[in-house]
Homo-oligomer: A and B are copies of this chain.
């Protein structure tokens, strides 16, 4: 299952056929990327799934430890060197890093997705479609607030349910709202005055900062980048069109003064959102430098969302590789965040259970956890990181060991991948390998896929194949029917090493309110710093016995999770004084892109 790179059409019908996709199941978007139809799931519904491998990391340095590079290198090793089917599934990246700091998210060296500028920029337009969909909700929310504020009850109702050519009827989406209000009528003319008001008015009562000026209503609100939107999380957790619409319609856009949720369905936008996102729901096919197939689909934040690529892409890939094949996917950040959410949220939603965890570490990160100096982006590495220092590595091992145990707590075998650098020494690598296996890892392999492509990840591939042969003993960390407090306590104690969870009174009452409104069975999506097992990014290693403080909590009723927030989370990052854009250009003569790495 290696893609032939064709001269003119790198992603085309020939490639698609090689990896089991029929010509009517693929839509090329230009010559290097394509949409893959979800109809594959119907055609292959009776086939068995392949093995499912989750790539996660230890607590990373700010430079990242190479999870995506490992994902792609491992796919190449399995495809080319072990001769088995393998698909990588990956998040589509946000544009911020591409233009702000040098570096996208396409992997690196000889383990990357090509062409990286397509991967890092528009791809097939899914993110742009989500942006347009978010903007439509915002426009309709603002318009509705304005119309409710400026129109009398009868006028408002009459405009919402107009008489057209002598007849007057509710639309399907309006009938859904009536049913939610327990108004069992379908003829607009039969509604009482009170029912008309309940049907038509819900936004004027929103408790947001308002002040009247001659221009009208002023309303305080905020920006979010697309990847931080609930719609993005929904795309990633969706199982089919029906489920997608149901989740979008359930998004809460406001609470009225009685505390009742106002949903996207109440705004009448659900169907229009589905129309805007009808292409975005299909996964995108690209390939690695060595020709391994990659499905790129959705890119929710790993803090206020669960941080995984889409369920649909994994499902398509699991069918396409067949029973003896492998699908590799990634959880954002360390195992405490990315893996925990991937398993407890994504896998619980999809029903697809992993067979093995690959835990990516670097000697650099272990040295940092062992007491090495900070590793800020953009600055040269300190000498501790460039020459052998076994003490720092040894002192950093508790962080690795904690992440190994995190995987084992889900009943999964953990294969440690030491993503090696030129400056690592034999003794350092040997120490980590031995200690990993002595402390619960199923195996540990030194891997050089960045420098060597798939050939550098063969030992890792072999360890992963062995781990996947074990009988699956997967179990979830918590049950959904437990109270929110118990679910949050379990994650904090088992995954982070916390002793107590401390809530502000506002958080406690919001959690209670969510349970009362019927959202108590949702899983937890912790929003915590990636830089530490604790809530404080300056604390390295593997501390225990600390208090974890929850400052805020929010509800994504459409995506289907509750988000306890540890510390402050920004959903609108800025640019530095001299962002990478200063170096980026298209050569006017050759058309080549310059300065994009």
Contacts and interface: CB of A to CB of B under 8 A. Distances in A.
Nearest to A136: B99
A292 B144 CA distance: 41
A271 to B, nearest CB: 3
Contacts of A276: 121-122
Given A8-B23, A128-B122, A268-B581, A245 B575 contact: no
Interface stretch (A168-176, A294-302, A388-396): A168-176
Contacts of A121: 275-276
B131 A122 contact: no
Which residue, A129, A242, A577, A593, has most C-beta atoms of chain B within 10 A? A577
Interface string A3-45: 0000010000000000000011001111100010000000000
Contacts of A520: none
A124 B128 CA distance: 11
A313 interface: no
Contacts of A218: none
Contacts of A95: 132, 136
Contacts of A162: 578
Contacts of A584: 271-272, 275
A575 B271 contact: no
A463 interface: no
A156 interface: yes
A99 B151 CA distance: 22
A143 interface: yes
A79 to B, nearest CB: 27
Nearest to A35: B30
Given A8-B23, A139-B575, A241-B591, A99 B272 contact: yes
Contact of A577 (B156, B241, B242, B595): B156
Given A117-B275, A125-B128, A271-B586, 19 more contacts: A99-B136, A122-B128, A128-B128, A139-B575, A143-B574, A143-B576, A144-B577, A151-B577, A156-B577, A159-B576, A162-B578, A174-B582, A245-B586, A245-B588, A268-B581, A270-B585, A275-B585, A275-B586, A278-B591
14 contacts: A30-B35, A125-B125, A128-B131, A131-B131, A136-B581, A159-B577, A173-B585, A241-B586, A245-B586, A268-B578, A271-B581, A271-B585, A271-B595, A272-B581
Interface of A: 8, 23-24, 27-31, 35, 95, 99, 117, 121-122, 124-125, 128-129, 131-132, 136, 139-140, 142-144, 146-147, 151, 156, 159-162, 171-174, 240-242, 245, 268-272, 274-276, 278-279, 574-579, 581-586, 588, 591, 593-596
